C-alpha cells in the first residue's frame, strides 16, 4: 500500500496504520515500563479467555477445522472461556454446515460462546480488551506473505498468540515482540494454553522487553487512522 500511495500522491508515505483500530488512541508513554493486568491478575486460578476465531468465515482461515478444535479445547481447558465470532457473507452450504457443527459444540460446552453476526467496532475493541489469548489457523501458503489486521489488533491489546501454521503470523509476532507459541496439533495447543500468561497481560508499549525499533514500529502501526490521513493529505 505504501508503494501505491507513493505513486498516486508523489510523496513519501510511511507505514499505514491498522485500519481495524480506526481512531483508537493509545498513550505510548503511559504504557512504558508497566503491565496491564487482566481482571484476575494475581489469582493463579483465574480464568483465561481465548479468541478462537473472528471475522468472515473462510476456509483459508481454518474455519472448517474449527468445530473439532473448539470441542477438544473446551473439554481440555475448563478454566478457559472460548469465543468465536464469524459472519457468512455468501450462500455456501459448506460454511453453513460448519456453522451448524459449531452451534452443536456450543450447546455441549458452556465455556464456548459464538456470535454469528457482524460485530460493531466498540464491541470488537471490548472483545479484544477482555481477552488474553488469540488462536490462528491460517493457511500457510496463502498467508505466507499476506498480513492480518486481526493480529495487529491482538498486538494492540497485548494478547498472547497461538498458531497451528507457519506463515506471516509468526514473523509479525516476532517483529512486534509478542508472546507467540506454535503447535500443529490440537494437543499441542492445549499445552500452549497451559503455558500462556493469561493472568498477566502486557501492555503493547512495555519497553522492558521491546527494542526501540519495535516501539517505533508499533507507534506507526497503531497511530489513529485520522491522524495518519491528515499527515498524508493535509
CATH number, residue 67: 3.40.50.2000
My answer on whether 172 and 146 are in the same domain is yes
**Helix boundaries (H) for the chain:** 2-9, 28-31, 66-76, 93-108, 121-129, 149-156, 168-175, 186-195, 212-221, 225-233
More confident residue, 26 or 104: 104
My answer on whether 189 and 119 are in the same domain is yes
- Helices 93-108 and 66-76, interaxial angle, to 10°? 10
My answer on whether 86 and 147 are in the same domain is yes
Mean pLDDT is highest, among 160-169, 213-222, 225-234, for: 160-169
What span, in angstroms and rounded, lies between the C-alpha atoms of 136 and 213?
25
Q: Please compute the mean of the pLDDT values over residues 23-32 and round it to a whole number.
A: 46
Give how many domains the chain has, as a whole number: 2
- pTM score of the predicted model: 0.80
pLDDT for the residue 25:
61
Residue 40 lies in a domain: no
My answer on whether 173 and 234 are in the same domain is no
My answer on whether 94 and 184 are in the same domain is yes
Those residues whose C-beta lies under 8 Å from the C-beta of residue 174, and which sit 6 or more positions away, are 180
Q: Is 129 helix (H, G, I), strand (E, B) or coil?
A: helix
My answer on whether 57 and 24 are in the same domain is no
My answer on whether 57 and 164 are in the same domain is yes
C-alpha to C-alpha distances, 209 to 134, 135, 137, nearest whole angstrom: 20, 22, 27
Residue 133 has pLDDT above 50, yes or no: yes
Residue range(s) defining the domain that contains residue 159: 45-198
Mean pLDDT of the chain: 82
Residue 54 has pLDDT above 70, yes or no: yes
Q: How confident is the model at residue 93 (pLDDT cuts 50, 70, 90)?
A: very high
Q: Is 59 helix (H, G, I), strand (E, B) or coil?
A: helix
My answer on whether 81 and 143 are in the same domain is yes
Amino acid at each position: 500500500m505504501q508503494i501505491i500511495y507513493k505513486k498516486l500522491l508523489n510523496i513519501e508515505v510511511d507505514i499505514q496504520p491498522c485500519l481495524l483500530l480506526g481512531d483508537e488512541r493509545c498513550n505510548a508513554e503511559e504504557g512504558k515500563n508497566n503491565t496491564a493486568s487482566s481482571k484476575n491478575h494475581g489469582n493463579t486460578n483465574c480464568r483465561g479467555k481465548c479468541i478462537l476465531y473472528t471475522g468472515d468465515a473462510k476456509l483459508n482461515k481454518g474455519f472448517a477445522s474449527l468445530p473439532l478444535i473448539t470441542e477438544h479445547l473446551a473439554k481440555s481447558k475448563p478454566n478457559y472461556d472460548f469465543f468465536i465470532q464469524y459472519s457468512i457473507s455468501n450462500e455456501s452450504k459448506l460454511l453453513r454446515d460448519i456453522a451448524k457443527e459449531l452451534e452443536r459444540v456450543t450447546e455441549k460446552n458452556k465455556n464456548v460462546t459464538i456470535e454469528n453476526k457482524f460485530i460493531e467496532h466498540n464491541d470488537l475493541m471490548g472483545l479484544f480488551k477482555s481477552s488474553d489469548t488469540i488462536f490462528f489457523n491460517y493457511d500457510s501458503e496463502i498467508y505466507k506473505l499476506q498480513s492480518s489486521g486481526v493480529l495487529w489488533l491482538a498486538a494492540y491489546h497485548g494478547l498472547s498468540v497461538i498458531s497451528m501454521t507457519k506463515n506471516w503470523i509468526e514473523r509479525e509476532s516476532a517483529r512486534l515482540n509478542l508472546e507467540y507459541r506454535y503447535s500443529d496439533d490440537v494437543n499441542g495447543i492445549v499445552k500452549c494454553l497451559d503455558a500462556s500468561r493469561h493472568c498477566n497481560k502486557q501492555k503493547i508499549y512495555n519497553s522492558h522487553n521491546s527494542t526501540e525499533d519495535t516501539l517505533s514500529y508499533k507507534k506507526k502501526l497503531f497511530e489513529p487512522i485520522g491522524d495518519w490521513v491528515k499527515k498524508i493529505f493535509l
